[in-house]
């Protein structure tokens, strides 16, 4: 019983229209993944549902509108759920609703997305600038009488949201499914096989075939086709398939960990406070792809090993410096492919390293400054400054405040900050070293120094007579 409601699921953009782009991330890929999952879930729950596109193809405006307007007619019980990803460096989810409807459903949707772990920004209406009586978005303006919503799951150009979208998008979509189910008055059943549901959902991975998926779930290709209403053998990466639920009895933990639907090496490693590399090496895995029912042995982390929880303001550079390891080593042991961190994320720190404090100088950017010139001035590197300040690019603004890292050195050297009136000769003389020693140690090509320059002074026993 769905009280007469019908649903049109829309995957925003597609084909030659990538939508918002950040690096190698494209909005159209996220929206396709979200829409296919949403379509399959409503189909599984018994709600009349259609979808505007289920592959990466270009839709004209009229093609998209025709699906929205003509499949189920046009009345308030036709819910048009258009999936999108935002841009503009904000953070969190938003829901836009038309001028003709109330905020009840969009508010329920945003609340459920928030329960799944995403930041809630707002629900709102947006008007056409040249005619404030009309909606800004054509999918609302040109689908009269329907309940058309635009759901923005996060910001593609925000590093925190990027990680959330890559790892948690389907959780947020499931929140939408739950909210809509509650709104239209149907019995919501989670996608876990509980409550009488006999199927799970599977997201197609690179190199998947219907045959390989059928083998994984102990079924047949024909059964998969029948379950999903498909007629060809072609699959798209990110496509969601309904698959039979496997009855898996998990053995005692001493026998290892049994991989369940939705598990990844990263999620399992986090659960047991080990690194992905440890799991791969300990189980001699030839690939990072897991199979449901596969048993993994979990390496024991010795008490001398350290698991670090990322705090606000942390960067890989800061954490690596504080434990006396390199950023590359930290990325390698945690299987990280970027420098972006999330608050609360767990990082594995190898044993045998001791904490080494790092200090910094507060620097205000002046005209003509570049990261290169500043790094030369403070005996560091542009990369270190970018890491320490979490900079996304090497472009600086006048009066911008930077923290310039100065790593404490061993007792072989002393750090000296140049003061007004100083010369290399005076500094060398006061420490009982030669000018050439200072130049060699600090990689100086001339004797010119500036106030605020940081110099390393070789420590040695000096006899002042």
Residues 276-333: pLDDT tens digits?
Answer: 777 787 777 777 778 777 888 777 644 334 667 777 777 877 787 777 777 777 777 7
d(CA 294, CA 54): 30
Instruction: Give the integer Cα–Cα distance in Å for 34 and 19.
Output: 14
Query: What pLDDT is recorded for position 409?
Result: 40
The predicted model scores a pTM of 0.46
Q: In the CATH scheme, what is the homologous superfamily, with its name and number, of domain 194-247?
A: LysM domain (3.10.350.10)
Residue pLDDT, tens place only, 331-374: 777 777 777 887 777 777 755 443 344 456 777 888 888 888 88
Q: Where would I find the beta strands (DSSP E) of 78-130? A: 78-86, 93-96, 120-124, 127-128
> Which of 3.40.50.720, 3.40.50.1000, 3.10.350.10, 2.60.40.10 would CATH assign to domain 357-408?
3.10.350.10
Q: Is 281 exposed, middle or buried (0-12, 13-18, 19+ CB in 10 A)?
A: exposed
Decide: 91 and 161 in contact? Cβ < 8 Å: yes
Could you tell me which CATH class the domain 6-184 is placed in? alpha beta
* Measured distance CA(61)–CA(69) in Å, rounded: 12
Kindly state which CATH superfamily the domain 306-349 is placed in: LysM domain (3.10.350.10)
CATH 3.30.1280.10 correct for 409-465: no
Which segments of the chain have a pLDDT < 70?
A: 1-2, 192-200, 229, 245-256, 270, 273, 300-307, 350-360, 406-413, 459-465
Could you tell me the residue ranges of all domains in the chain?
6-184, 194-247, 306-349, 357-408, 409-465
Return the pLDDT at 410. 41
Query: Are 6-184 and 357-408 in the same CATH fold?
Result: no
Alpha helices in 264-340 (DSSP H): 265-271, 276-282, 316-322, 327-333
The DSSP 8-state label assigned to residue 300 in this structure reads: P
């Amino acid at each position: 019983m769905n009280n007469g409601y019908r649903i049109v699921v829309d995957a925003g953009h597609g084909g030659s229209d990538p939508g918002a782009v950040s690096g190698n991330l494209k909005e159209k890929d996220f929206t396709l993944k979200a829409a296919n999952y949403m379509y399959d879930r409503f189909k599984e729950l018994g709600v009349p549902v259609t979808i505007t596109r289920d592959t990466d193809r270009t839709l004209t405006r009229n093609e998209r509108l025709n699906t929205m307007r003509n499949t189920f007619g046009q009345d308030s019980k036709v819910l048009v759920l258009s999936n999108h990803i935002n841009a503009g460096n904000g953070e969190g989810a938003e829901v836009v609703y038309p001028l003709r409807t109330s905020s009840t459903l969009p508010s329920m949707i945003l609340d459920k997305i928030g329960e799944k772990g995403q930041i809630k920004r707002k629900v709102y209406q947006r008007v056409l600038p040249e005619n404030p009586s009309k909606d800004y978005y054509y999918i609302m303006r040109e689908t009269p009488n329907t309940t058309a919503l635009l759901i923005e799951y996060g910001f593609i150009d925000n590093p925190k949201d990027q990680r959330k979208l890559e790892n948690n998008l389907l959780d947020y979509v499931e929140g939408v499914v739950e909210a809509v189910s509650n709104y239209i008055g149907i019995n919501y059943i989670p996608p876990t096989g509980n409550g009488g549901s006999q199927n799970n959902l599977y997201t197609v991975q690179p190199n998947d075939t219907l045959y390989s998926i059928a083998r994984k779930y102990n079924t047949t290709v024909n059964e998969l086709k029948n379950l999903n209403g498909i007629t060809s053998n072609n699959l798209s990466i990110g496509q969601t398939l309904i698959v039979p639920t496997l009855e898996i009895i998990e053995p005692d933990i001493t026998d290892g960990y049994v991989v369940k639907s939705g598990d990844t090496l990263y999620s399992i490693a986090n659960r047991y406070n080990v690194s992905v590399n440890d799991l791969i090496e300990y189980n001699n895995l030839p690939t990072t792809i897991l199979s449901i029912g596969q048993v993994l042995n979990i390496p024991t982390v010795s008490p001398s090993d350290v698991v670090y929880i990322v705090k606000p303001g942390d960067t890989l550079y800061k954490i690596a410096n504080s434990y006396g390891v390199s950023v590359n080593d930290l990325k390698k042991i945690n299987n990280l492919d970027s420098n972006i961190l999330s608050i609360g994320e767990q990082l594995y720190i190898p044993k045998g390293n001791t904490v080494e404090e790092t200090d910094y100088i507060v620097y205000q950017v002046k005209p003509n400054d570049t990261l290169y010139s500043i790094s030369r001035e403070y005996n560091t590197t542009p990369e270190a400054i970018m890491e320490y300040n979490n900079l996304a690019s090497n472009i600086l603004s006048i009066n911008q405040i930077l923290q310039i890292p100065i790593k404490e050195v061993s007792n072989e050297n002393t750090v000296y900050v140049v003061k007004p009136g100083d010369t290399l000769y005076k500094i060398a003389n006061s420490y009982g070293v030669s000018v050439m020693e200072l130049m060699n140690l600090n990689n100086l090509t001339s004797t010119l120094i500036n106030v605020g320059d940081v110099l390393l002074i070789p420590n040695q026993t000096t006899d002042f007579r």
